[in-house]
């Protein structure tokens, strides 16, 4: 598998992890590193025990371009607005 195809697969897996975890912002590096580990294990470039035969950074040096497609969650739902306020 060539480097460009490997990077694209890692990018897709990282995005899937982002969506699966609830579109939490600020976790792009964590998602990328986990996706990199998953893909490299898939192709036998690293062992499942964690000892690396090939350095992930040498296999893929660029970071993913993040596409945000998730809706932002509101802090309060309409059902909970107004609760907890003191009267008076």
CA neighbours within 13 Å on the CB side: how many for 58?
6
pLDDT number for residue 55: 45
Supply the DSSP symbol for 52. Answer: B
pLDDT number for residue 47: 84
Tokens of 74: 């509101």
Rounded average pLDDT per 10-residue block, the chain, 88 residues: 93 98 96 97 84 44 49 44 51
pLDDT number for residue 1: 78
pLDDT number for residue 51: 45
The whole-model pTM stands at 0.55
pLDDT number for residue 12: 98
């Amino acid at each position: 598998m060539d480097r460009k195809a490997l990077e694209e697969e890692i990018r897709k897996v990282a995005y899937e992890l982002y969506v699966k975890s609830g579109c939490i912002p600020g976790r792009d590096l964590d998602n990328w590193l986990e996706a990199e580990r998953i893909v490299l294990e898939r192709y036998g470039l690293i062992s499942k025990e964690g000892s690396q035969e090939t350095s992930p950074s040498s296999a893929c040096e660029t970071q993913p371009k993040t596409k945000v497609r998730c809706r932002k969650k509101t802090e309060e739902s309409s059902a909970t607005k107004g609760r907890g306020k003191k009267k008076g």
